[in-house]
Amino acid sequence: MKSDLNSIGPFHHGKENLRAMETHKWQYLHSFVDRKPDITLPEYVKTMKQIEERTRQCYSESISTNSDEFVTMMLFDGCFMLEFLLRNLPLEPSHREDPVSSTDWLSSALKCDFILLENQLPFFVLECLYKLTKEMDTIPSLKFFAFPFLIGQSLLRNMICFEQLHCVAPRYITDNASLLDSFIDSAKDVILLREHGIIKSLLGDHEQVSLLFNKLVKEVNIDAGDFYFSDICQDLNAYYRVIWHSWKANLRHTYFNTPWSVISVLAAAVLLVLTLLQTTFTIKSSH
């Protein structure tokens, strides 16, 4: 879910409700450039200009922004992301004066924003900027600190998108999400799966979890012929077709779903047995 605090990339760039973060981007840009004083700001601009066309081709929609604005956006957003990541390194000096990285809720919200599909820069943009400042003995590899940061979040939607673009069947994450989507239609299904330890969620709202899975594989290509969980689905359908299994499940949900309902059913059964016994004895005694 987008935090409405920041935009990364061209799709939300320049929106009025995101302008508050632009001041921080200026500060982060200067801090990042100051890490390598012998490289001037025009050199960064030149580097971004060289990969502008390649960057534009990474977006499915046409970007109407002119060249200067697009290159500026690449530079601002790329330096902002890199400086933010660097400030979160364990050995990085404290930046207590920085309201972004030193505020837990804001920092967490930005991390979520960074990995939204509509809120990203191509990785090679970050690599180009990072290589300009990288000192092998003092700064770790970009993938060294970026990968754990992303994977701690790396969100199913992004992983599904990656599989659709780069992976051949079986697509494990996509197929798993599709399987869960087939299980979940409402908040009741979410509650059942959580009770059995199949899914865990920090959202709190079961309805939101249900909506999340229902939208997760919407308009995503699912190859039924190479579906990783096809055997499980076939076994489940075969199990469901046995009438006794449906009866048993319905009996459990209708009459044995709580301890009190179990007691009521047992009491009714005992009463029925006693009534039958009494009737039998009455008939025998009458003869």
Q: What is the pLDDT of residues 11-59, one digit of tens each?
A: 656 566 566 677 778 888 888 998 888 889 999 999 999 999 998 888 8
Any idea where the domains of the chain sit in the sequence?
16-154, 167-241, 246-286
The count of other CB atoms within 10 Å of the CB of residue 212 is 20
**Of the segments 112-126, 175-189, 207-221, which one has the largest average pLDDT value?**
175-189
Question: Among the residues of 52-141, which ranges form H helices?
Answer: 52-56, 67-87, 104-114, 123-133
Residue in the block written with tokens 């799709």: 11
Q: What is the DSSP letter of 170?
A: P
State the amino acid at position 61 in one-letter form.
Answer: E
4 or 109, which is more confident? 109
Pairwise CA distance, residues 27 & 20, whole Å: 13
pTM summary value: 0.53
